[in-house]
Amino acid sequence: MKQLPIKLDAAITSECWNFFRTSIIGTDPFGHEWIASHYDVFMHWGGHIHFGNGLDRYATPYYDILDQRSFPLERYGAQDLVSHIEQWIDEGAYVMLDADTGKLIENPEFRIHELLVYGYDEERRIFYSPLQNGKTGKFEVFELGYDTVLTAVGSVIAYYREHPLERVNRACQYFYPLTTIKIRPVHYDDTLFILTALKKLEAEYTGYRREFVRYEPTREAGERFVNYTGLGCLIGMRDVLIGLISEPDAGVSFSIGTSLFKLYEHRGILVSTLELLRDKLGISDTAYDGNLETYKAQSRLMREAYLLMKKAEISNKKNSLPGIIQRLDAVYESDYTSLRDMDSRARQALAGWL
């Protein structure tokens, strides 16, 4: 029996592919600093918020913190797979598998999703995995029987044999259907964390509205997309909500509530960014501290916006949308001032620290 450390209250719970990795990184001595100095946020067209570089929602760079090695899932037979998972965990590697989640919860609906295994008990023949509770939305420890996991994985293998291109597409996003993950044994330097955090902070308050154009074979401009980054996401979300209000027959989109929650979650990470800069640079400044407390207080408005949106989704009524817009406007005005000022003070502190 062995269980690797896992952090269920990870920095990101709203996106599974990032949750699984932050639940691992958060257990490392340098994990807090690494997370605090990473993760920009952006908005895809239509109001979809993601952690990433402004274009690709799977683009968070993990290469400097995680050693991720992928293998063809079909290489291993049922019993071989069990013994290899046990061996990898014994060696300190977490195991990510593509699985048919319907088989895990006895649901007839076929659905491919990654499954993180961080421990096992060979006597009870169970794997330990963090899965999301469908009622609470929180991640909890689940005990999954060996046979249950093998059946779920076997279902995916059979599907991939009939749909090889879909496997390729998922591999390009998530690596191969079988991936081992270890934290790299690297010593990080405070200067690197500080510089990365400053770059992240600047990217947040200098939010952009970016237009992307796909070219046709004729070299003419084709489909156009608009993305927003940083604080620009608040403006983009505002535009989405105004558009929703102006269309009487349009229903309330369930993705908007999730996106607002991601913005709220992003603020929690950014608080860590601001605290990292304060602590690493030794900033003892009442103005910096005051701006930080203001930023934390504004998180309440973002949480209220998220809860109002969930209410609108449940009732399918739009009367709460103007209140959400008001809160987004207030957050934007406050954040732009406080973040810009803290960035300036942190840079001054760095100038004296170098």
What 8-state DSSP symbol labels residue 74? G
Edge to edge, the sheet with strand 178-183 lists: 66-71, 178-183, 94-100, 112-117
Q: Which residue has the tokens 């993180």?
A: 116
- CA–CA separation, 145 and 153 (whole Å): 12
pLDDT at 254: 63
**CB–CB of 102/110 below 8 Å?**
yes
For Cα atoms 260, 263, 266, give the angle at the middle one, nearest 5 degrees: 150
Q: DSSP for 167-216?
A: HHHHHHHH-SSEEEEEE---PPPHHHHHHHHHHHHHHHHS--EEEEEEEP
Residue 119 neighbours by CB distance under 10 Å: 20
The one-character DSSP state at 5 is -
Tens of pLDDT along the chain (354 residues) come to: 999 999 999 999 998 989 999 999 999 999 999 999 999 999 987 788 999 876 777 767 788 899 999 988 888 876 789 999 999 999 999 999 999 988 987 777 899 999 999 999 999 999 999 998 877 888 999 999 999 999 999 999 999 999 999 989 888 877 778 999 999 987 778 999 999 999 999 999 999 998 889 899 999 999 888 899 999 999 999 999 998 888 876 666 668 899 999 999 999 999 999 999 999 999 999 999 999 999 999 999 999 999 999 998 888 888 999 999 999 999 999 999 999 999 999 999 999 887
pLDDT attached to residue 279: 96
Please give the pLDDT value at position 212. 87
Q: Which pLDDT score is estimated for 332?
A: 97
Neighbours of 111 (CB within 10 A): 14
Q: In this predicted structure, what is the pLDDT of residue 171?
A: 83
The DSSP line for 278-321 is HHHHT---HHHHHHHHHHHHHHHHHHHHHHHHHHHHHHT--TTH
User: According to the model, what pLDDT value does residue 130 have?
Assistant: 96
Helices (H) and strands (E) in the chain, counts: 11, 12
